[in-house]
Amino acid sequence: MRQISQKVRKLDAQALVTGMPVYTQDIVQGPYLTVKIVRSPHAHAKILSVDTSKAMKVPGAACVLTHRDVPHVRHTLGGYAYAGSNPYDRLVLEDRVRFVGDAAAIVAAETAEAAERMARLVKVEYEVLPAVLDMDTAEEAPAVVHPEEDYVCKPSIRNDNARNVLACGESGNGDVEKVFSQCDVVLEDEYHTLGNSQCMMETFRSYSFYDKNRKLTVISSTQIPFLVRRTIAYVFGLPISTVRVIKPKVGGGFGAKQSLVTELFGAAVTIKTGLPTMVLFDRRESFTATTTRHEMKLRVKMGAMRDGTVRAVSLYVRENAGAYGDHAMGCVGLSGHKSLPMLGKAEAYSFRYDVLYTNLIPGGAFRGYGATQGCFAVESMVNKMAHALGMDPIEMRLKNIPMEGEVMPAYYGETLTSSHLDRCIRRGKEMIGWDEKYPRRQTGSHTIRAVGMAASMQGSGIGGVDKCFATVRLDEDGCYTVLNGAGDMGTGCDTILAQIAAEVLETDISNVHAAAVDTDYSPYDKGSFASATTYVTGMAVVKACERLIGQMMAEAAAALETPEERLVFQGDCISEKDAPENRISVSDLARRQVTSGNCHAFTATCGHMSQTSPPPLMAGFVEIELDTQTGQVKVLDYAACIDCGTVINANLARVQAEGGIVQGIGMALYENMQFSSQGKMRNNSFLQYKIPSRLDVPPIRVAFDSSYEPTGPFGAKSIGEIVINTPAPAIADAIYNACGVYMTELPFLPERVLNAINNKAE
């Protein structure tokens, strides 16, 4: 293989490192209206009236939109393929606000200053309602977050809005209680994970205008261009074909931009005024008025035999959806279905969940998408069980993980078609120096070094749901262009897809170009999420390239007057197998498209949907130093070994892993989302909500041990999400190994660790 597994530079690297204007705000041109949102100061309130008169007197004022001025169409902002089961519980604006920061009105003006003044001058009269601020009391709370009669959801989610239950459900296999009763050791514990903010560096923004064909055009920093188009069309009652979405370079997403955020507000103003509009959320709005990772409480019960075999496991999850259910269903599902299958020998499992509405910021998509929370709980319990049995956690894993070829009942009954997890665990163990370091070493009067580990899985796309197309075109100069609609958010999927094309087309990567995503020209893709693009869109590229080669072969057969079956495609030319001098170069073929009367255009579009979602797997190992007097935990080393199937781009896969692990460390140690007693987010800036700086994390060490996934392009699976999962449980275990306390609530703040140490001493 020439292009696969190489350290290919990102195609856009040069533009990015020289600061070229390639992001949304860089490419739009004035004059345009600036849109601002009037936000609710209350966690729950009814809007009685909106007085816009003062705001409209501001010089430069264009319009104020209230709930009376926008379509009454219930929808979800969560980007998901058609089969999603998220409820339609939102309106663009409503006469009810459901969290501090919820939109109460939209203003637009000729300048940002004027729009800000307008937003302050819109007088909203609220009737403040009791609010539900704690998911544990949501069912009994006097307040109902979604009392509306036009609420839309599938009956299968078992919604009960009167009790603030967005959904509940269960699944399982075998009789867990019976198997528990036969186990030597049964342990139970509850774990609590908080909301986290995705914190991509480019905050949310979009620009909308009518293009020359009178299409409502939205340039958006999004991961889901086609779903943005579909949702705008649905909400405003437009034919999908009259809406156009363009995705320029995106400054990170991590799931945050898998929801529509700014797009409907800007579109509403453009529709109302006919004018171009810009909506740009600042960092505070990005923290407080968008989505976060879902807070969850996860109760795990696990039964094992003395030899370490886990025979049964149950998981009960309570998920805080916040005020809207954008991604609530998907995330709660993954909390069980991507954590429980790691106990591959269990004869029985049960997974139950309740999803609760509260008057807090809505949960949404964030790398890991529920699996991260599930992994923390279940992997922590595996470690606890190992300690209870007096077993090394590594031995415990090797005894229980699912092996290649085995059926995983908790993973929708899918068969594990590729896995090197056992090898990853052994390799990671060596990398961290487990045998020398486990469990702990006293390094000073009040410092202890200790190691901990966890294993994890994710998926590769959503089986039977994610549909992605790719177009590959031979241009007249003999170079290829790959068009995709996925929405590279900085991860490099444009480059990955170009590498895959170059490999199939047997050409150098320099001959393959990427195209910007524009729903008018790009082929449909559900978007860049669910760890899908390499695996699903990548296969679409493989298919399109193969079809393109077929077109070129047919043309070569005509040009060479040789039957096609006697020809062979050789990358730079097509020649006769037994008479290589009878050949035509690809560049000659390319030119024939524009010179020959009979020649068709060489362009192929193919789609792909996988019926399965083969899991990438990994093992993460951490070494920490604990200060037993302050409770402070410092991460000294993190070693990970990953099986993501074939690595397509050695650099980009590695950086995905390093970045994801650091986000996981942030989640485990630093990112502590807090709310006031009134439901207002207290740490809504980088001053108060601390993502890891380079001083907070060690160099991350990553190795790959690749299995070959038969359903993926060149054997590839996914890498994007799995990498965030292991730090929280691995660090929790290292803390246990250091001082004998189990940390069950994120993040592991020094104060919490010290309290746990002190409580244990008492």
Residues 537 to 556: which contact another protein by CB under 8 A? Answer: none
Site for another protein in 179-198 (CB under 8 A): 198
Site for another protein in 233-252 (CB under 8 A): 249-252
Q: Which amino acid is at 400?
A: N
Smallest gap from residue 174 Cβ to another protein (A)? 40
Smallest gap from residue 660 Cβ to another protein (A)? 7
Q: Which position among 46, 123, 283, 399 is part of the footprint of another protein (CB under 8 A)?
A: 283
Provide the token pair at 475: 């241009």
The site for another protein, by CB under 8 A, has a size of 74
Closer CB to another protein, 354 or 623, in the complex: 623
Smallest gap from residue 463 Cβ to another protein (A)? 28
The strand pairing partners of 701, in sequence order, are 639
Counting Cβ atoms within 10 Å, is residue 23 exposed (0-12), middle (13-18) or buried (19+)? middle
Smallest gap from residue 368 Cβ to another protein (A)? 14
Site for another protein in 642-661 (CB under 8 A): 649, 651-652, 654-655, 658-661
Establish if 16 lies at the interface with another protein (CB under 8 A). yes
At 125, is the secondary structure helix, strand, or coil? Answer: strand
Site for another protein in 581-640 (CB under 8 A): 629-630, 632
Provide the token pair at 318: 């309570």
Closer CB to another protein, 258 or 663, in the complex: 663
Tell me which stretch binds another protein (CB under 8 A): 12-20, 52-60, 101-109, 425-433. Answer: 12-20
Site for another protein in 114-143 (CB under 8 A): none
* Order of strands, sheet of 33-39, starting from the edge strand that comes earlier in the sequence: 61-65, 103-109, 33-39, 277-280, 205-210, 216-220, 243-247, 517-518
Q: Which position among 4, 5, 10, 346 is part of the footprint of another protein (CB under 8 A)?
A: 10
Q: Which amino acid is at 337?
A: H
Q: Which position among 413, 561, 563, 695 is part of the footprint of another protein (CB under 8 A)?
A: 695
Closer CB to another protein, 135 or 640, in the complex: 640
Site for another protein in 668-687 (CB under 8 A): 669-670, 672, 674, 682-683, 685-687
Smallest gap from residue 700 Cβ to another protein (A)? 5
Asked if omega into 130 is within 30° of 0 (cis), the reply is: no
Through-space distance between the first and last CA atoms of the chain, rounded to whole angstroms: 62
Supply the angle between the helices 538-560 and 493-504 in degrees, to the nearest 10: 30
* Per-residue CA distances from 436 to 130, 439, 440, 639 (Å): 57, 9, 9, 15
Tell me which stretch binds another protein (CB under 8 A): 17-25, 99-107, 319-327, 578-586. Answer: 17-25
Q: Token match 């001098």: residue?
A: 581
Site for another protein in 200-229 (CB under 8 A): 200-203
**Are residues 200 and 251 in contact, defined by beta-carbon separation less than 8 angstroms?**
yes
**Are residues 35 and 277 in contact, defined by beta-carbon separation less than 8 angstroms?**
yes
Site for another protein in 21-40 (CB under 8 A): 21-23, 26
CB neighbours (10 Å) of residue 510?
A: 11
Smallest gap from residue 146 Cβ to another protein (A)? 31
Alpha helices in 299-446, H assignment, sequence order: 328-337, 371-389, 393-400, 421-432, 434-437
**Are residues 498 and 652 in contact, defined by beta-carbon separation less than 8 angstroms?**
no
Provide the token pair at 708: 């070959």
String of contacts with another protein for each residue 698-717, x by CB under 8 A:
-xx-----------------
Cα atoms in the Cβ-side hemisphere of radius 13 Å centred on 510: 0
Tell me which stretch binds another protein (CB under 8 A): 40-48, 76-84, 199-207, 406-414. Answer: 199-207
Q: Which position among 114, 489, 540, 719 is part of the footprint of another protein (CB under 8 A)?
A: 489
Closer CB to another protein, 203 or 562, in the complex: 203
Tell me which stretch binds another protein (CB under 8 A): 8-16, 54-62, 156-164, 564-572. Answer: 8-16
Provide the token pair at 377: 């709980």
Asked if omega into 276 is within 30° of 0 (cis), the reply is: no
Closer CB to another protein, 491 or 562, in the complex: 491
* Per-residue CA distances from 756 to 190, 601, 620, 750, 759 (Å): 15, 69, 24, 10, 5
Smallest gap from residue 20 Cβ to another protein (A)? 8
Tell me which stretch binds another protein (CB under 8 A): 75-83, 462-470, 576-584, 688-696. Answer: 688-696
Q: Which position among 156, 415, 596, 693 is part of the footprint of another protein (CB under 8 A)?
A: 693
Q: Which segments of 402-514 are extended strands (E)?
A: 407-408, 414-415, 440-442, 447-457, 468-474, 480-484, 512-514
Provide the token pair at 440: 């702990």
CB neighbours (10 Å) of residue 55?
A: 24
Phi, psi of 23 (to 5 degrees): -100, 170
Closer CB to another protein, 236 or 287, in the complex: 287
Closer CB to another protein, 192 or 215, in the complex: 192
String of contacts with another protein for each residue 721-760, x by CB under 8 A:
----------------------------xxx--xx-----
Site for another protein in 424-463 (CB under 8 A): 446
